[in-house]
Amino acid sequence: MRLFKNVITRMILERVMLGILTLFAVSVLIFAATSILPGDAATAVLGQGATPETVKAYREELGLDRPAIVRYGDWLAGVVQGDLGTSLTTRQPISDSVIPRFENTLFLAGFAALIAVPLAIGLGIIAAINEGRLVDRVANIVSLGAISVPEFFVAYLLILFFAVKLGLFPTLATVFPEMGFFDRLYVTILPVIALIMIVTAHMLRMTRSAVLSVLSQPYIEMAFLKGLRRRSVIMQHALPNAAAPIISVVALNLAYLIVGVVVIEVVFVYPGLGQYMVDAVSKRDLPVVQGCALLFAATFVAVNALADILSVAINPRLRRSRH
């Protein structure tokens, strides 16, 4: 198989294929979990009091009387063309309401990640270099606190101090399409700070242990023994090798960002995908839940694939070990 001479091109193609395959499996899982179940959508929407005739008519209207495999095929064909189906409660096309909300969520999560990722990597490296010293211990205790408390605790504390007591920022992050970029930034500052705190804490701890595990390698000891200064051992010998584990740490922690974003959106009543999904779950609007779940999962899978590709691109040694 010398189809792709360039190792990186082949690797990227393999990784993208794997991502698509995973996503396909995930779509089956999402569909199966919401469709092949006793309480189906018709009874969920009409409630317990509906007569069998209305349920039957509604089932036919929704196409629920067809076999699950056929419905899955239709759903998947729609999804591939960007059509997520129709909401059971509003009777509107799901894609129309999902896309602006997804953009809002990406804005919030992206804004948080933009600050959290460099901050966490920097602090994690500083903590690892000063292992056991005061800086490290303070970072350890503060980050342990931040990963232990629930997201809404951080959010409510921020609201209490910065919005209510000091009156600096609004308590709710209300955004609308016509809003200017800087107004948007101002309104979303508190939810973004909450997300940054949670994600940074997780990422910092894992970055620290990734750097420490590289620092315990024999070639690092060798570099010290041949008389190099600590700074240059870390900058030139340790960090290039720690890059790959750090990238996978970052990707892994974007999962916390996804979970965090759902709760934070609800706290701040931010019109994003997370709040939309929670709303749909409590109304049991299954097609909307499926669509939102698929979008969240796709984002997650894409981020992980990107991280794998990046880490191989950065560290040439990983290119050979994969077959």
Partner 1 sequence: MKSSLQRPPLTAIIGLVIVATFLLLAIFGSYIAPYSEFETVGETWAPSSAEFLLGTDNLGRDILSRIIIGAQMTIGIAVTCTMLSFVIGTVVGLAASVASNVVDQIFSRSVDILLSIPVLIFALIVLSAFGSSMPVLILTIALIDAPRVFRVARALAMNVRNLEFVETAWLRGESRWWLMTREILPNILPPMISEFGLRFCFNFLIVAGLSFLGLGIQPPSADWGGMVRENGQAITFGISAPIWPALAIGLVTIGINLVVDWVLSMNARPSGASAEL
Binding site for partner 1 (CB under 8 A): 22, 25-26, 29-30, 33-34, 37, 39, 44, 141, 144-145, 147-153, 156-157, 159-160, 163-165, 171, 213, 255, 258-259, 262-263, 266-267, 277-278, 280-282, 284-286, 289-290, 292-293, 296-297, 300-301, 304
User: CA-CA distance, 215 to 207, in Å (whole number)?
Assistant: 12
Q: Are 192 and 111 in contact (CB under 8 A)?
A: yes
- Shorter beta-carbon distance to partner 1: residue 84 or 289: 289
- Shorter beta-carbon distance to partner 1: residue 8 or 29: 29
- Residue written as tokens 């809002």? 104
State the amino acid at position 225 in one-letter form: L
Minimum distance between the CB of residue 159 and partner 1, rounded to whole angstroms? 5
Could you tell me which residues come within 8 angstroms of residue 125 by beta carbon, excluding any fewer than 6 positions away?
Answer: 207, 208, 211, 234, 239
Nearest to 71 by CA among 83, 62, 81: 62
User: What's the count of helices (H) and strands (E) in the chain, helices before strands?
Assistant: 15, 0
Minimum distance between the CB of residue 132 and partner 1, rounded to whole angstroms? 12
User: CA-CA distance, 228 to 234, in Å (whole number)?
Assistant: 10
Minimum distance between the CB of residue 106 and partner 1, rounded to whole angstroms? 15
Minimum distance between the CB of residue 286 and partner 1, rounded to whole angstroms? 6
State the amino acid at position 309 in one-letter form: I
User: CA-CA distance, 174 to 272, in Å (whole number)?
Assistant: 10
- Shorter beta-carbon distance to partner 1: residue 223 or 277: 277
Half-sphere exposure of 17 (CA within 13 A, CB side): 6
- Shorter beta-carbon distance to partner 1: residue 87 or 290: 290
Token pair in block for residue 108: 């919030």
Minimum distance between the CB of residue 141 and partner 1, rounded to whole angstroms? 8
Burial class (CB in 10 A: 0-12, 13-18, 19+), 40: middle
- Residue written as tokens 């409590």? 282
- Shorter beta-carbon distance to partner 1: residue 159 or 238: 159
Minimum distance between the CB of residue 239 and partner 1, rounded to whole angstroms? 20
- Shorter beta-carbon distance to partner 1: residue 111 or 268: 268
* Strand (E) or helix (H) holding 44: helix 41-46
- Shorter beta-carbon distance to partner 1: residue 3 or 69: 69
- Shorter beta-carbon distance to partner 1: residue 145 or 316: 145
Minimum distance between the CB of residue 83 and partner 1, rounded to whole angstroms? 20
Minimum distance between the CB of residue 281 and partner 1, rounded to whole angstroms? 4
User: CA-CA distance, 193 to 34, in Å (whole number)?
Assistant: 34
- Shorter beta-carbon distance to partner 1: residue 151 or 208: 151
Minimum distance between the CB of residue 27 and partner 1, rounded to whole angstroms? 11
User: CA-CA distance, 177 to 86, in Å (whole number)?
Assistant: 23
- Cα separation values, 291 from 18, 88, 140, 141, 286, Å: 21, 12, 39, 39, 9
